[in-house]
C-alpha cells in the first residue's frame, strides 16, 4: 500500500483495519482503491499477492457489472509480471487486450480516482478458435485424449451410459483402435452392436447392446449438429499456453467462443479438457513465487449444470491438485451459488460485482452469496445491490495464506483496448503466428474407422499389433468404469513404437511428449 497521505489518519478505524490487510510487501496485482461509506479512498489500495494467484478464485456478478473488464485488468498485470494467461472469450470482446487502450474522459476520471498511473498498453496475445470456427488458430482434441467422462457430459449421457462409454473406450484402447475423431468412435460402437461384433461385448461385461445403441444414436445426432469439427488432429498441445513473449511478458491466450456460444455444453467441457490435460501433464512444483499459468474459466455455471457426481468429483479433485502444479484457476459466473460448495471452498480469491435483487430468486441468491464471505464491517446485502459498474467486493489470500478483510473496491481501468480489435488485424495476427502452420490444417490419418472398415474377415484382435501390459491405474477404476479389473494398456500407432493410454481423473489420455 502506498504511504499514507493527507487525510488517511482520519479514516474510521474499520477502514484503517481493512487497508492494513492489503499492505503486502512482495509483488502483487493492483485491483483498485478502497470504498468506505460511499467514498473512494485512493491511499488505501486493494491488491492480490502474486504468489497467491495459484490459490484459485471467483469473479462473479450480474450481467453488465464489469466482470470482463476485471478479467482484463488482472490478465494485463499477470502478463506484465511474466505470467501466461488463458482467457475464454465468450462475447468476442477480449481480443482488445492485444492493443493499446483509448484514453478518454471516463478512463482518465477512473485513473485519477484510484491513483492509477494509466498508460495505454497492448499485451502479447495468441488467438485460438474452438474447432477452427472463428478467426483463431484451430483448437482440436482427439476423442481418445478427450476421454469418456468429458464426452459423456457433452453427449448428455446418464450415469449408466457414462460407465458404458468408459468400457467402450477401454475396448478401443485394448484393441489398438485409435479414436481420433467422432467417426472413429461411432465405428467402434457400430461394430460392437453389429451381429459380427456382439460377441465382443461379452469380453467387456456390463455393456448391454441396448445401452451401446443409445450411445451410438447420441453420437450420430451429435455429429449431425455439426460437432465433428472439434475432434480430430492435429491435437492442440496445452503446453502452448505456458509461453512467454520475447520481452519476458506472459503470453495471453484468447480462445474465441462467440461463434459457438450457442453450444455451451460443448465449449465449457472443452475448457475442462484443456485444464485436465494441463493437470496430468505438468510436474509438481509446490508453492511458487509466481504461477506458471492463470486460467480464467468463463460461464462456469455451464460446466456444473447437469453434471454427474463422477464428473463433479473429478473436477473438484483437479481444482484441488492443480494448484501444486503452479496453475491458478478463476471461475467466472454470475453468483457464488453457481459453483458447488466443494469447489467454492477452494477459491481463496474473490471479486464479487453487483447483484440484482428484483425477484425472490434474486434475493435468495443474494443471501446465499453473502453467506460465502467472511464476517465483514459492511452490510453486504445492501452493498452488493448498490455497487456501480467497475466496483466490487474483494477478499483474497494474504501472503501468509489467510483471508484478507472484505473490501469494497473501485477497480482500476484496463490499459488495453476495452473491446474487440478489428477483424482484419485479428486475422493477420493469427496467420502470422508461429503456431498457424502447425494447427491450421486438419489431418485425417488411418484410425479406428479405417481399420474397422477394411478389416474384411479379420476381427479387431487380428489387426492389433503386440501390446504391453501396465499396472492398474486406480483413476481409471474410480473415475471411468468403476470396475476393479481394468488396466492401463499400450498400443502401437502406425510406425511408432507405441503410446501409453493412461487415463487420469477425467479419463483423459496422457500424451507422451
Q: Output the DSSP codes for 374-392.
A: PP-SS-HHHHHHHPPTTEE
Q: Is the pLDDT of residue 416 over 90?
A: yes
pLDDT at position 461 is 58
**Per-residue confidence band for 462, with pLDDT thresholds at 50, 70 and 90:** low
Mean pLDDT within 476-494:
31
- Relative orientation angle of helices 309-322 and 148-155, to the nearest 10 degrees: 130
Inter-axis angle of helices 159-175 and 182-193, to 10 degrees? Answer: 100
Instruction: For strands 293-297 and 327-333, give the pairing.
Output: parallel
173 C-beta neighbours (distance < 10 Å), count: 26
Per DSSP, helices labelled H in 194-232 are: 198-201, 209-222
234 and 240 in contact (C-beta within 8 Å)? no
Rounded to an integer, the average pLDDT of 153-163 is: 91
What integer pLDDT is reported at residue 191 of this predicted model?
92
Residue 172 in this model has a pLDDT that exceeds 50: yes
Q: And the C-alpha cell for 347? A: 477459491
| Residue 501: pLDDT band with limits 50, 70, 90 | low
Confidence of residue 488 (pLDDT cuts 50, 70, 90): very low
- Per residue in 14-27, pLDDT (tens digit) is 899 999 999 999 99
Q: Say whether pLDDT at 482 is over 70.
A: no
Specify the pairing of strand 293-297 against strand 28-36: unpaired
Over 70: is that where the pLDDT of 465 sits?
A: no
pLDDT for the residue numbered 499: 39
Query: How many helices, marked H, and strands, marked E, lie in the chain?
Result: 20, 14
pLDDT at position 512 is 45
User: Looking only at Cα atoms, what is the longest distance across the chain?
Assistant: 89
| DSSP 8-state symbol, 107 | H
pLDDT at res. 503: 67
Q: Cell for 336? A: 457464488
- Rounded to the nearest 10°, the torsion over CA 210, 212, 213, 218 is 130
Look up the pTM and report it: 0.86
Residue carrying C-alpha cell 494398456: 489
pLDDT at 300: 87
Q: What is the DSSP letter of 290?
A: S
CA distance 206 to 182: 23
At residue 510 the predicted structure's pLDDT band, cuts being 50, 70 and 90, is low
Mean per-residue pLDDT over the chain, rounded = 86
Amino acid at each position: 500500500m502506498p504511504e499514507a497521505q493527507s487525510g488517511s489518519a482520519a479514516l474510521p478505524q474499520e477502514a484503517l483495519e481493512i487497508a492494513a490487510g492489503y499492505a503486502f510487501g512482495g509483488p502483487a496485482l493492483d485491483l483498485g482503491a478502497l470504498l468506505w461509506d460511499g467514498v473512494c479512498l485512493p491511499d488505501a489500495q486493494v491488491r492480490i499477492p502474486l504468489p497467491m494467484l495459484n490459490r484459485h478464485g471467483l469473479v462473479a456478478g450480474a450481467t453488465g457489472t464489469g466482470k470482463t473488464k476485471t478479467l482484463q485488468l488482472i490478465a494485463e498485470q499477470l502478463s506484465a509480471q511474466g505470467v501466461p494467461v488463458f482467457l475464454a472469450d465468450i462475447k468476442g470482446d477480449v481480443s482488445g487486450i492485444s492493443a493499446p487502450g483509448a484514453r478518454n474522459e471516463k478512463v482518465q476520471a477512473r485513473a485519477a480516482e484510484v491513483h492509477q498511473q494509466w498508460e495505454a498498453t497492448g499485451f502479447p496475445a495468441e488467438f485460438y478458435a474452438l474447432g477452427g470456427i472463428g478467426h483463431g488458430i484451430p483448437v482440436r482434441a482427439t476423442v481418445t485424449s478427450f476421454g469418456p467422462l468429458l464426452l459423456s457430459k457433452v453427449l448428455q449421457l446418464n450415469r449408466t451410459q457414462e460407465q458404458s462409454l468408459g468400457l467402450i473406450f477401454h475396448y478401443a484402447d485394448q484393441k489398438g483402435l485409435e479414436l481420433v475423431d467422432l467417426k472413429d468412435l461411432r465405428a467402434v460402437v457400430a461394430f460392437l452392436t453389429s451381429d459380427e461384433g456382439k460377441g465382443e461385448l461379452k469380453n467387456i461385461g456390463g455393456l448391454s447392446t441396448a445401452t451401446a445403441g443409445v450411445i451410438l444414436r447420441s453420437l450420430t445426432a451429435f455429429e449431425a449438429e455439426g460437432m465433428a469439427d472439434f475432434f480430430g488432429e492435429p491435437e492442440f498441445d496445452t503446453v502452448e499456453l505456458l509461453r512467454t513473449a520475447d520481452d519476458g511478458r506472459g503470453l495471453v491466450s484468447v480462445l474465441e467462443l462467440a461463434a459457438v456460444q450457442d453450444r455451451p455444453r460443448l465449449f465449457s467441457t472443452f475448457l475442462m479438457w484443456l485444464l485436465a490435460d494441463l493437470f496430468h501433464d505438468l510436474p509438481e512444483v509446490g508453492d511458487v513465487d509466481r504461477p506458471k499459468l492463470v486460467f480464467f474459466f468463463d460461464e462456469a455455471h455451464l460446466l456444473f449444470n447437469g453434471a454427474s457426481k463422477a464428473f463433479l468429483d473429478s473436477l473438484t479433485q483437479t481444482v484441488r491438485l492443480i494448484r501444486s502444479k503452479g496453475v491458478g484457476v478463476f471461475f467466472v459466473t454470475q453468483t457464488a451459488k453457481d459453483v458447488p460448495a466443494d469447489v467454492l471452498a477452494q477459491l481463496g480469491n474473490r471479486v464479487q460485482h453487483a447483484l440484482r435483487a428484483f425477484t425472490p430468486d434474486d434475493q435468495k441468491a443474494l443471501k446465499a452469496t453473502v453467506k460465502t464471505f467472511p464476517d465483514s464491517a459492511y452490510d453486504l446485502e445492501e452493498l452488493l445491490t448498490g455497487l456501480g459498474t467497475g466496483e466490487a467486493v474483494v477478499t483474497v489470500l494474504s501472503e501468509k495464506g489467510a483471508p484478507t478483510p472484505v473490501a469494497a473496491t473501485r477497480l482500476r481501468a484496463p490499459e488495453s483496448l476495452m473491446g474487440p480489435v478489428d477483424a482484419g488485424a485479428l486475422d493477420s495476427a493469427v496467420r502470422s503466428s508461429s503456431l498457424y502452420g502447425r494447427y491450421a490444417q486438419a489431418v485425417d490419418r488411418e484410425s479406428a474407422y479405417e481399420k474397422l472398415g477394411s478389416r474384411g474377415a479379420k476381427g479387431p484382435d487380428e489387426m492389433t499389433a503386440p501390446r504391453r501390459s501396465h499396472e492398474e491405474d486406480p483413476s481409471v477404476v474410480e473415475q471411468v468404469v468403476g470396475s476393479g479389473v481394468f488396466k492401463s494398456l499400450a498400443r502401437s500407432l502406425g510406425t511408432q513404437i507405441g503410446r501409453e493410454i493412461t487415463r487420469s481423473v477425467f479419463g483423459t489420455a496422457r500424451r507422451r511428449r
